[in-house]
Amino acid sequence: MADAASPDRTPPGGDQHIPVMLEQIVDLLAPALESSPETEAPILVDCTLGLGGHSAALLAACPQARLIGLDRDTQAIAAAGERLAAYADRIELVHAVYDELPEVLAERGITAVQGVLLDLGLSSLQIDRADRGFAYARDAPLDMRMDQTADLTAEEVVNSYSAAELTRILRDYGEERSARRIADAIVAQRRTEPISSSARLVQIISGAVPMALQRSGGHPAKRTFQALRIEVNHELEALRGVLPAAVAALDVGGRIAVLAYHSLEDRLVKQVLRVAASDRAPRGLPVVPPELGPELRLLTRGADRPDQTEADSNPRARSARLRAAVRIAPARGRAA
């Protein structure tokens, strides 16, 4: 494996953002992206392309690999295209949500891939662009769409959902203990004037969350903004769709790596990988038939976390949880 990147594997293209757990991602996926007599041009699917930092490092480390990069954010695709220009003959960037992976592969006649990467949550582009409305620390329109061509915005959710619907979202997607109080406050305040800015929403939330919780639970708006973002972008539904599809798309020896940033995401990732890494034989069977054996072998013991140095230098990495697995048997329905 040739490594054209610098010794710390910082990808080419400038310091636009700091990819989370970059060393670990390259170490986990690169072995599956080396060419072989069976696969001269291994395929990596980066389902969450973002600014392309992870993909740039993998393309540099694996000179025979091809990239199919997916992102629902057209601004991210444009930025990643510039970052990955040196690899233009080995990449294809696609405007798609990651749960559209089966359609993307089918349209290209691809039946199996050697690597899949999912870096969930917000990209650096979305966090840093104040006008996108994702950050509770900056005043901006309540947008929160990862795909600017989509219809649903956070402003529509805040101003049209019932108190019961808002409570459910804040409780289920934000794990917010004051969900009902916040929902009632939102409904009461929007009767006076529609809520259209992040600053006003933060003010409403701060007034609804008890001071005791504010002192111990971080910024009072953090969980509400997370919940609204997940609702607007249907993130958990998309994740439930892509995980089994990504596992099924892996060739034998192919690897998947997933970075999650909160417990809701990580719980889904853990469940899907654990099931695929377990045999399906009835309990007590003395010998497990090959067709009922595990399809994956886990490459991480639980979830790997960034070390303290990375957490200190890159605050966005602090909550990251990395899980990975390798396919050890053909997918059901696919010949060996």
Chain mean pLDDT for the chain: 89
The helix (H) or strand (E) run that includes residue 298 is strand 296-298
For residue 134, name the pLDDT band (cuts at 50, 70, 90): confident
For 96, 158, 214, 241, 264, the CA distances from 163, given in Å and listed in that order, are 32, 10, 22, 28, 22
pLDDT at 31: 97
Answer yes or no: is 335 within a domain: no
Say whether both 116 and 39 belong to one domain: yes
Q: Which residues contact 218 (CB under 8 A, 6 or more apart)?
A: none
Helix then strand then coil, % of the chain, to nearest 5: 45, 15, 40
Residue 53 marked as a ligand binder = yes
Say whether both 154 and 216 belong to one domain: yes
Inform me whether the pLDDT recorded for 34 exceeds 50: yes
Inform me whether the pLDDT recorded for 296 exceeds 80: yes
Say whether both 90 and 143 belong to one domain: no
Residue 46 marked as a ligand binder = no
Average pLDDT of the segment spanning 78-94: 97
Report the C-alpha gap between 316 and 127 in whole angstroms. Answer: 10
User: Are the CB atoms for 50 and 74 separated by under 8 Å?
Assistant: no
Say whether both 52 and 193 belong to one domain: no
pLDDT at 116: 98
pTM of the model: 0.87
pLDDT at 122: 75
β-bridge mates for residue 274, sequence order: none
Least confident of 56-60, 123-127, 290-294, 318-322: 123-127
Instruction: Return the closest-CA partner of residue 295 out of 310, 274, 314.
Output: 274
pLDDT at 37: 66
Residue 13 marked as a ligand binder = no
**What amino acid is encoded at 319 in this protein?**
S
Helices (H), 129-234: 154-160, 163-174, 179-192, 198-208, 211-216, 222-233
Answer yes or no: is 109 within a domain: yes
Residues in the chain: 336
pLDDT at 125: 61
Least confident of 22-31, 103-112, 169-178, 203-212: 203-212
Distance of CA 219 to the CA centre of its chain: 23
Residue 54 marked as a ligand binder = yes
pLDDT digits (tens, 9 = 90+) for 179-202: 999 999 999 999 999 999 999 999
Report the C-alpha gap between 324 and 309 in whole angstroms. Answer: 22
Q: How many CA atoms lie within 13 A of 229 on its CB side?
A: 22
Answer yes or no: is 279 within a domain: yes
User: Are the CB atoms for 173 and 227 separated by under 8 Å?
Assistant: yes
Domain limit, last residue, from 200, 233, 266: 233
Residue 17 marked as a ligand binder = no
pLDDT > 70: percent of the chain = 89
Report the C-alpha gap between 147 and 153 in whole angstroms. Answer: 10
Residue 109 marked as a ligand binder = no
Say whether both 240 and 121 belong to one domain: yes
Q: Between 235-249 and 263-276, two packed helices, what is the crossing angle to 10 degrees?
A: 30
CATH number at residue 139: 1.10.150.170
Residue 204 lies in domain: 130-233
The helix (H) or strand (E) run that includes residue 258 is strand 250-260
For the sheet with 250-260, list strands across it: 91-95, 66-71, 43-46, 113-119, 250-260, 321-327, 296-298
The number of domains in the chain is 2
For residue 58, name the pLDDT band (cuts at 50, 70, 90): very high
pLDDT at 3: 31
Answer yes or no: is 6 within a domain: no
Report the C-alpha gap between 320 and 23 in whole angstroms. Answer: 14
For 83, 208, 218, the CA distances from 214, given in Å and listed in that order, are 40, 10, 6
**Given the DSSP bridges, would you call strands 66-71 and 43-46 parallel, antiparallel or unpaired?**
parallel
Other C-beta atoms within 10 Å of 139: how many? 14
Least confident of 4-13, 57-66, 247-256: 4-13
**Given the DSSP bridges, would you call strands 296-298 and 321-327 parallel, antiparallel or unpaired?**
antiparallel
Say whether both 159 and 201 belong to one domain: yes
Residue 81 marked as a ligand binder = no
User: Are the CB atoms for 63 and 57 separated by under 8 Å?
Assistant: no
